[in-house]
Every structure is written in C-alpha cells, then in structure tokens.
Structure 1
Amino acid sequence: MTSIPTLETERLILRPQRMEDWPEFAELMFSPRAAFMGGPFSVDAAWGLFCSDIGQWTLMGHGALMIEERETGLCLGQVGINHGPLFPEHELGWFVYPGAEGKGYAYEAAVAFRHWAFTARGLDTLVSYIHPDNIRSRKLAERMGSSLDFTAPRRDPVDLVFRHPHP
C-alpha cells in the first residue's frame, strides 16, 4: 500500500484528505464552479470523485492532496494527479475554493506537487487538461512553464493539453 505524503511549502501544507473535507468539497462539486471539471455533479458522482482521489493512492501510487493554509489551518482546495481509464496521461489538476483565488495558492501547491511527481514518484511526463474557457487555469499552467501540446491524446477533444516541463 502506498503511503500518502504530506508536502510543505512556505505557506501551505499539502495533506491527505479527511472526512471533514467532504462538505466543502461537495459544495464546490454541486455548484456551477465545477463546470470545467465536468460538473455540476450529483451527490453520488461527487462522492465518487472524493473517494477516487483517495483510492488512486493505493491503485496508482498517486492521488489528491488537500491544500491547507499553514498559518490558519483552513482547507483552501485540492491538487491532484489523475490517471487510469479516465486520463490518457498523468494529469496534474487543481482547484481552490472561493475566497482562496488570486492569492497564488493554486500555483504554489501545483508547483510543489509537480516537483514531487517528477522526483519522488518518478513520472516521466505530466500534463494538465484544461477547458479553453477556463482562463484562470490556462494562465496558471502557462505561469508554471507548461506549453500547449496539440498532438497529445485527450479524453475530451475540446480540452487543451498543457505539457509540464520535466526538471
């Protein structure tokens, strides 16, 4: 069984999910804000996503970590690596809750988790699948140094594929 890591940055703790993370996670997944992730979702689908984020650690050696503000202990969102039958390549994804946007938290978390993926997990490649209308995520991927890969396989032909540079 794969041990789920806890990663730390200057302002954040990236930690395993806990049951107390479910209500805020669910609220986001039920809302129109989940549109770029395939939502809004039903309670059954949202619960499946929540559990999948944990289950991938055992099955794939990676999954999701919650983004917690070190100073306050507030959960700000999630960063994760997905793969398996839903994603042609290892995918780095992120979201932050309302109120946590525009403060660099998603960037800080995604850069730290990408570093873990390439070094500790040993992945050779990493992409982010982003809907063209998701301007904030597109800008974040670009800020991270990722570049568009028009030839990469994708599950949804509408998605843009941003390829992350290998260190």
Structure 2
Amino acid sequence: MSEAGAIWIRTKRLSFRMPDIDDFDAYARIMASPRSAGMGGPFDLRAAWGMFCHDVALWQLFGHGAMMIDLSETGQCIGQVGINHGPLFQEKELGWFVFDGFEGRGYATEAASALRDWAFKTLKLSSLVRYIAPDNSASVAVAERLGARLDPAAPRADPADLVYRHLSS
C-alpha cells in the first residue's frame, strides 16, 4: 500500500486519497442530513464517527476502503467513494456520495467508475454490488450509467434494498 493520504487514483477532473481527520466534519454533516436516509440515517455524531472509522479501518483489514474525492483543479473535497466489506455487508460493495452542491455533475459516476476499475484490476474481483434504497433514484441512475444490472437474487441485509451488480469485464 502507499503512504496514508497518498493519491492512488486520478481521473481527468478528480483525484482520490485516503480519508484524514480533517474530512470528518463534512462527513458527519452529510451523515446527519436527510441525504443519508438510504444508508439508514440520519446518524448522530457517535454513529457517524463509527462509520468514518470503519471506512478508514477497511484499508488495514482488507486492502481497500474509502477514498475522499477531491477536485483535481482546486483540491476541494467533494465526497467519498469506497469499497465496503466486513460483517455488515453480504458482498464487497462499491459505494459513493457527493457533498451538497456537487450533485448532477457526473462526479459520482466518474469516481465510482475509477474505483471499480481499480478494484477489478488490483484486487482481482469478479464483481461488486451496490445496495440501494428503492427511493434513491440518483444512486440507481449512477449504477445504471456504470453498467451495473439489478440482481434480484443477490443476498442483502435489508430485504427492501435493490442490489445492482457490477461485473468485471
């Protein structure tokens, strides 16, 4: 693995890095907002901290985890993309979110595509899933733009979730 904080992946508009403590305030705000409802939120500060620590710990435990999304031009952090795993996830999940004000610009699709491709190449995965609350049309649209397909037979912790499957090419 690279040094903590090192940028491992870049796209034309975005760069990705390990989360650091300075990212937590913005993370906690989105987790406390109605936008986190599809993940079981809104979450209080204690729950957001636990989730943030989980995102960071995944790197040590599994060799993958969350990465913060920065605009390459300015360095401004605009969201997160990651591969979730562990006892709370039936399969490795490709997850994403962008902070308020950065929706609708293709950043989530660009970031998720880059991390998905990295995971298939580096981790040699044959598939990833995305668990999506049925009313989260924005995440469904991103998953479909990425070429993921609905997998009604996939296991899921929440029976109401839609499961979209990304296959390695």
Q: Per the shorter chain, which TM-score range?
A: over 0.9
1:152 to 151, 154, 164: 154
SS in 1 for 2:47: helix
| Matched residue, 2:15 | 13
Distance (Å, rounded) in 2 between the aligned partners of 1:125 and 1:34? 25
Shift of 1:61: 1.1
Corresponding residue SS for 1:84 = coil
Q: 1:4-44: CA deviations, max 9, x gaps? A: 66210000001110111111111111111110111111111
Aligned residues: 166
Gaps of 5+ in 1: none
- TM-score, normalised relative to structure 2: 0.95
- Could you tell me the percent identity over the aligned residues? 56
1:55-134 matches, cutoff 5 A: 55-134=57-136
Write the letter of the residue equivalent to 2:72.
R
Q: Distance in 2 between matches of 1:13 and 1:46?
A: 24
Counterparts of 1:38-49 in structure 2, within 5 Å, are 38-49=40-51
- 2:33 corresponds to: 31
Matches of 1:66 and 1:81 in 2, distance apart?
12
Stretches (4+) displaced over 3 A? 2-5
Task: Please state whether the residue corresponding to 1:41 is helix, strand or coil.
Answer: coil
Q: How far is the alpha carbon of 1:165 from its aligned partner?
A: 2.3
